Amino acid sequence: MVHHFFGSKEDLFLEALAVPFDPRVVLRPVIEGPSEEVGERLARVMVTIWEDEARREPLLALVRGAMTSEPVAAMLRDGFLRIVGTVLGSVIAGPDAILRLQLALSQVIGMEIFRHVVAVEPLASTTPEELIRRLAPVLQHHLRG
């Protein structure tokens, strides 16, 4: 039934969570290109997604839902993060790849919560290009060591 109605288990997770993008599509540019630039590509993709208000509001709802509902948190962990890990797995260096990915994603999500929920200045008014410039080396470190 899952395959009939949703195409795959991953598609079902994305539909159930109301994720406003398909990570298998939007993260593809992150894995294409030189490994020494993967942090910048991930920063650019993530900041671009969060700066799009149509995508930001559902993402914030998802984060809030995961913080208050264990079933939503479980779907986020077991569905969405697994999909992201599958897509980005080829660019993460080291035996602790899962931890590295989680550190990189927590960096982005934490930054976006401070920027768009708590509205901490000057972070809230920093330009997207400045965010990408400052976030890229941190993500590069987490993903590539």
Q: What is the pLDDT of residues 86-107, one digit of tens each?
A: 899 889 978 899 999 999 999 9
Residue 4 and residue 94: Cα distance in Å, rounded? 38
Flag whether pLDDT at 114 surpasses 90.
yes
Residue 143 and residue 89: Cα distance in Å, rounded? 9
Contacts made by residues 56-60, CB under 8 angstroms, sequence distance 24+: 56/112, 56/116, 58/18, 58/19, 58/20, 59/19, 59/20, 59/112, 60/116, 60/117
Domain range enclosing 133: 2-144
Comparing CA positions, the residue from 8, 29, 28, 23 lying closest to residue 105 is: 23
Number of domains within the chain: 1
CA 122-125-130 angle, to 5 degrees, is 90
pLDDT number for residue 61: 85
Mean pLDDT over the full length of the chain: 86
pLDDT number for residue 99: 93
For the domain that residue 54 is a member of, what is the CATH number? Answer: 1.10.357.10
Q: Which range is most confident: 2-6, 11-15, 49-53?
A: 49-53
pLDDT number for residue 143: 94
pLDDT number for residue 2: 41
